[in-house]
């Protein structure tokens, strides 16, 4: 069939270690003296897995399979590969995040300068009032008439200084307003959530839409999970700052359990999301179980009180027949189902096709 890829039985990538392609695996015997030879063998395995799954060996697909198949290898081999990857330069997204953080820090510094300037202007205005008061006192004392001329000259000098300072303050405010607009425009294009240290909603939705296009083209399976700190737990704490700290802990745990190819993002209002590329529903359920276990074994201390963290997860599949909003709503419905059943940490919500 010209222009299209022929349909082919697809393996579950999470079980790729038991695939049909026979290649030498570096997981059993690691040659520490020839790491380049080991990675060459592994790279061929990744390439064969892509071909077996009828996927084009693009850099993005190769990177994704490279990470996923690595999970089935020995710990020593994984450490060797990870150490090699860490030597590489940061990707474009990471560079963008650093740039966003630097820009916001710069804007905060400008805001601080403007605040200091405004305080200085207020102090100058106060000094002018004090001079006026002292001048009035001198005018009432006939013996101090000679000091009046000095006071009048000083008042004029302070008035000139105050005028200059007011002009400069106005100019600085103009610079601040212009910078604030620039930052606002940049924030409309940002990909990073500063509060929780993960990607933001805008980036998540763009990646979901991108993945839907890839699914439409190649027919693989991907999943989306939404995660929320248990509502009953938040109610029992009754401390907004503590809830934020617990939510940040959840964000860190999500990053800890995620793979490099997963997209971890803050969707909003303390709800997080993980886009699991090339992951079917069964594998997404296993990922949810691992995440729930990790969170439940992570305690949070509030004063002298020890709190066991708990989350609720909604799981759904991606397809090319529904909109991004419908897929997100489906995952959110999964969270509601998990709350309704009370005794489970996650629930699957699938759409009718």
User: Which tokens go with 244?
Assistant: 């934020």
Predicted local distance difference test score (pLDDT) of residue 218: 84
Q: Could you give the number of structural domains in the chain?
A: 3
1 assigned to some structural domain: no
Asked if residue 313 and residue 232 are part of one domain, the reply reads yes
What is the predicted pLDDT for the residue at 3? 40
My answer on whether 80 and 121 are in the same domain is: no
Give tens-digit pLDDT for 315-326.
999 998 899 999
Q: Are residues 65 and 25 in the same domain?
A: yes
Distance CA 281, CA 335 (A): 15
216 and 325 fall within a common domain: yes
Higher pLDDT, 37 or 23: 37
Task: Decide: helix, strand or coil at residue 308.
Answer: strand
Q: What is the mean pLDDT of residues 283-302?
A: 91
List Cβ neighbours of 90 (8 Å cut-off, separation of 6 or more). Answer: 98
CA distance linking residue 221 with residue 277, whole number of Å: 7
Domain assignment present for 353:
no
Give the tokens for residue 328. 């997100």
Tell me the pLDDT tens digit for each residue of 242-279.
Answer: 999 999 999 999 998 888 889 999 999 999 999 999 99
Whether the full predicted model's pTM is greater than 0.85, yes or no, is no
Are 71 and 98 in the same domain? no
Lowest mean pLDDT of 92-101, 150-159, 163-172, 279-288, name the range: 92-101
Say what the pLDDT of residue 146 is.
65
> What's the pLDDT score for residue 314?
97
| Same domain, yes or no: 198 and 329 | yes
> Of residues 82 and 40, which shows the higher confidence score?
40
Contact predicate 73/27, CB 8 Å: yes
Last residue of a domain, one of 56, 86, 116: 86
> Is 6 domain-assigned?
no
The band of 136, judged by pLDDT with boundaries at 50, 70 and 90, is confident
Distance CA 65, CA 54 (A): 13
Element holding 288 (H helix, E strand): helix 281-296
234 class by beta-carbon count within 10 Å (0-12 exposed, 13-18 middle, 19+ buried): middle
pLDDT tens digits along 188-240: 778 889 899 999 999 999 999 999 998 998 888 999 999 999 999 999 888 88
Confidence of residue 295 (pLDDT cuts 50, 70, 90): very high
* 154 vs 215 pLDDT, higher one: 215
**C-alpha distances in Å from residue 132, one per residue of 99, 135, 164:** 50, 5, 19
Given 37, 54, 86, the domain boundary residue is 86
> In which band, very low, low, confident or very high, does the pLDDT at 6 lie, cut at 50, 70 and 90?
very low
Looking at the structure, tell me whether residues 243 and 313 fall in a common domain: yes
Residues 48 and 119 in one domain: no
Q: Average model confidence (pLDDT) for the chain?
A: 80
Task: Report the pLDDT value the prediction gives residue 89, as an integer from 0 to 100.
Answer: 47
- The contacts of residue 214 (CB under 8 Å, 6+ apart) are 220
Same domain, 224 and 324: yes
Residue at 3 is within a domain: no
Q: Is residue 319 part of a domain?
A: yes
Answer whether residue 120 shows pLDDT above 80: no
Higher-confidence residue of 66 and 17: namely: 66
CATH number, domain with residue 286: 3.30.70.270
Both 64 and 106 in one domain: the answer is no
Question: Could you list the residue range(s) of the whole structural domain that residue 338 is in?
Answer: 193-348
In a domain, 24, yes or no: yes
Residue 8 lies in a domain: no
Residue where a domain terminates, one of 66, 86, 106 = 86
| 90-99, 133-142, 198-207, 337-346, range with greatest mean pLDDT | 198-207
342 within a domain of the structure (yes/no): yes
Which range has the worst mean pLDDT, 30-44, 284-298, 312-326?
A: 30-44
Domain identity same for 330 and 255: yes
Same-domain pairing of 51 and 114: no
């Amino acid at each position: 069939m010209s222009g299209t890829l022929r349909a082919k039985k697809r393996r579950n990538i999470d079980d790729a270690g038991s695939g049909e392609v026979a290649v030498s695996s570096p997981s059993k015997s690691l040659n520490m003296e020839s790491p380049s030879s080991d990675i060459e063998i592994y790279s061929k395995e990744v390439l064969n897995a892509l071909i077996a799954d009828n996927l084009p060996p693009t850099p993005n697909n190769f990177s994704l399979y490279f990470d996923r198949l690595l999970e089935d290898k020995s710990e020593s081999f994984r450490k060797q590969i990870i150490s090699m990857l860490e030597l590489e330069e940061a990707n474009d997204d990471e560079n963008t995040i650093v740039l966003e953080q630097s820009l916001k820090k710069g804007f905060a510094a400008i805001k601080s300068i403007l605040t200091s300037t405004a305080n200085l202007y207020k102090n100058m205005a106060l000094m002018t009032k004090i001079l006026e008061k002292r001048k009035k006192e001198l005018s009432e004392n006939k013996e101090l008439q000679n000091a009046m001329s000095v006071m009048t000259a000083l008042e004029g000098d302070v008035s000139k200084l105050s005028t200059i300072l007011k002009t400069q303050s106005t100019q600085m405010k103009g610079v601040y307003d212009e910078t604030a607009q620039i930052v606002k425009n940049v924030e409309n294009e940002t990909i990073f959530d500063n509060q929780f240290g993960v990607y933001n909603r805008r980036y998540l939705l763009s990646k979901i839409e991108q993945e839907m296009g890839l699914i439409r083209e190649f027919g693989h399976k991907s999943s989306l999970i939404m995660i929320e700190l248990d509502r009953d737990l938040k109610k029992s704490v009754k401390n907004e700052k503590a809830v934020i700290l617990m939510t940040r802990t959840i964000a860190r745990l999500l990053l800890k359990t995620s793979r490099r190819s997963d997209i971890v993002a803050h969707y909003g209002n303390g709800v997080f999301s993980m886009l699991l590329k090339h992951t079917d529903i069964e594998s997404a359920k296993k990922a949810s179980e691992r995440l729930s276990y990790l969170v439940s074994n992570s305690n949070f201390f509030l004063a002298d009180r020890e709190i066991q963290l708990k989350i609720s997860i909604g799981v759904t599949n991606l397809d090319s027949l529904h909109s991004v909003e419908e897929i997100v709503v489906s995952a959110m419905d999964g969270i509601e189902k998990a709350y309704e059943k009370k005794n489970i940490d996650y629930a699957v919500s699938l759409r009718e096709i």
